[in-house]
Amino acid sequence: MSDSIDADSTTAALKMLRRRGLYVTRIGAGRDLASGRARGLSVFGGHAPSRLKSLALMMRQLHAVVSCGTPLVQALAAQEQQTEKGLWRDCLADVRKRVEEGAPLSEAMEEHSEFFDLVCRSLVAAGESSGTLPTMLDRIATIVRKQLHVRNMILGAMTYPALLLGVASAVLTVLMVFVIPRFGSLFEDMGVPLPPTTQVLLALSAFVRNYWWASILPAAGLAAGLRLWMLSASGKQSFDTLVLCLPQVGRLIRSFATARIARLLGVLLSSHVPILDALHLVRQSVSNVHYKTLMANAEDAVTRGNPISEAFSQSDLVSPSVCEALRSGEQSGQVGPLLQNIADFLDEENELVMKSLTTLVEPVILLLMGLLVGAVAISLFMPLFDLTSMVQGGGS
């Protein structure tokens, strides 16, 4: 059964439906008819680091200023003045204007869901209703800073290997386009018999120089095809399954996803967001279809009166140690703080694993580069060695 309902936000719609005794399996926002843009984009999972950085800075400064008793409108105005012209400043200006007109901050943020997602708005709404807005702003800033830290850690770990691969590609391109053809002309003038490896190298160089477009077009077509495939439901599910099954990498991805879920769920529950709403918000924030299914199963378990740990323990996406710790937290009534501690522990472990993998990958790339360049050099100089042997043999 599907239908629509008018509400100020997704959270408000959920509350209205539950008061009617209805359980919602899926809910989404409609389209903004005025602007034509879809709502519900995830700030915590799908935006560029610059926007995350802007959001984290905004929340930290709002927390510091509002905690000192500064009116919210003045704090937003100060944020607007400190921001350079652009989309972010226009967003802050509109939020400040709506708050001046009497709208709650969460409602003003809802008009800019491309910057403030459901989790962010729900925490702000919880802070406004309970009178703990500064605390909620600080928690949002913590979530975003952690997200930025994880993203920067991954990018930092990938930067040096990517640089090495880029240098290797540039060196091979120069060899193929400029160096090897000169050796080919030299061998042709001297009439030197060429070994098979040198012949293959010269043929490959000629192909790259004369038919480089034949390499780019298939690569571009393959990239476009993969992109379209991943945008489809079946392609997305197959890709999400593949990354989780990769040796070592899949385990690391599971750990990152578990840490993210634990942190978001822990902060939401510590902020007194209803557990079903918290599970729904976390499900909206994750991108992997298998973890979306996991969170949906957790919602079903809680609806039936069972603990979250029951749904988690029935899946291999969450490690048994995390399930056991969650079960202990449920028994002691400290689920929120415990989940945040689990997230901190997993983030520390993931950072150590990333550093270890980078330490192992770098020498492997250097070794492969050395072997590749060495093979090219040997293939080029072998005919010269043969020529030298022939000359010395003829002279004797």
For residue 115, give every residue at least 6 positions away whose Cβ sits within 8 Å of its Cβ, in sequence order, or none.
43, 47, 51, 55, 88, 91, 109
pLDDT digits (tens, 9 = 90+) for 101-118: 999 999 999 888 888 988
Say whether 31 sits in a helix, a strand or coil. Answer: strand
pTM exceeds cut of 0.85: no
What is the C-alpha separation between 225 and 44, in angstroms, rounded?
28
Same structural domain for residues 57 and 191? no
Same structural domain for residues 298 and 193? yes
CATH number (domain holding residue 85): 1.20.81.30
pLDDT (0 to 100) of residue 369? 86
CB atoms within 10 A of CB 339: 26
For residue 263, give every residue at least 6 positions away whose Cβ sits within 8 Å of its Cβ, in sequence order, or none.
143, 146, 339, 340, 343
Asked if residues 336 and 325 have their Cβ atoms less than 8 Å apart, the reply is no
- The verdict on residue 149 lying in a domain is no
pLDDT (0 to 100) of residue 3? 59
- Of 22-36, 148-162, 313-327, where does mean pLDDT reach its minimum? 22-36
* CA proximity to 263, closest of 173, 339, 205, 197: 339
- The verdict on residue 195 lying in a domain is yes
- The verdict on residue 150 lying in a domain is no
Same structural domain for residues 201 and 100? no
Same structural domain for residues 206 and 349? yes
Say whether 22 sits in a helix, a strand or coil. Answer: coil
Q: Which two tokens stand for residue 264?
A: 């978001």
Q: Is the pLDDT at 191 greater than 90, yes or no? A: no
Same structural domain for residues 203 and 321? yes
Q: Is the pLDDT at 83 greater than 60, yes or no? A: yes
53 is in which domain, residue-wise?
10-144
- The verdict on residue 5 lying in a domain is no
State the pLDDT confidence band at 12, using cuts at 50, 70 and 90: low
- Please tell me the total count of domains within the chain: 2
Same structural domain for residues 44 and 88? yes
Same structural domain for residues 69 and 198? no
Q: Which of 117, 144, 171 is the last residue of a domain?
A: 144
- The verdict on residue 2 lying in a domain is no
- The verdict on residue 118 lying in a domain is yes
Q: Which two tokens stand for residue 188?
A: 């042709």
How big, in percent rounded to 5, are the helix, strand and coil portions of the chain?
80, 0, 20
What is the C-alpha separation between 43 and 38, in angstroms, rounded?
14
Give the start-end residues of each E strand in 152-238.
none
Q: What is the mean predicted confidence (pLDDT) over 216-226?
A: 86
Same structural domain for residues 60 and 201? no
Same structural domain for residues 134 and 227? no
- The verdict on residue 262 lying in a domain is yes
Q: Which of 113, 144, 175 is the last residue of a domain?
A: 144
